[in-house]
Structure 1
């Protein structure tokens, strides 16, 4: 059975720079919230599946982020490493409402 989530306001869209990230501390660890150039927002665990690099410190390009440690590219929509690398990060639901960013956090 899926775990229930609660929507939590984490700030305004303009609080996150385009092609940048903010970190949200949670009981499960840090969550990186990214804003793409087209204002699409994504949220994933802030740890690369390769060696645990902080994805929030990586370079955002399109709907992906490049890990600052070893240049693994993570697709932010799927949470999957881009080939030839293999691995994935946990994704979190995120939505925009009236300019506010809401993150779904497990209860």
Structure 2
């Protein structure tokens, strides 16, 4: 978690007002994924603390356990895992 005021890094969420937050999608996200992130940002802005850039996976935990929306929790966790898989990151030299 990082305290920031500049641009949001991909994969992070920041609360901007009492009822709104901004989510920066990962590079290469589809239009459907970005629409889903916008919807979740509108619906669950109150689950993000002020003054911090939270990774999407921490936000997903708060949605799942505080709000009880396990479908949103599963979708966000899957979205985070799909986009942070080390085997898919550009420049990865690991041989399998």
Structure 1 length-normalised TM: 0.30
Give 1 or 2: higher strand fraction: 1
Q: Which structure shows the bigger proportion of residues in helix conformation?
A: 2
Larger radius of gyration between Structure 1 and Structure 2: 2
Structure 2 length normalisation: TM-score?
0.32
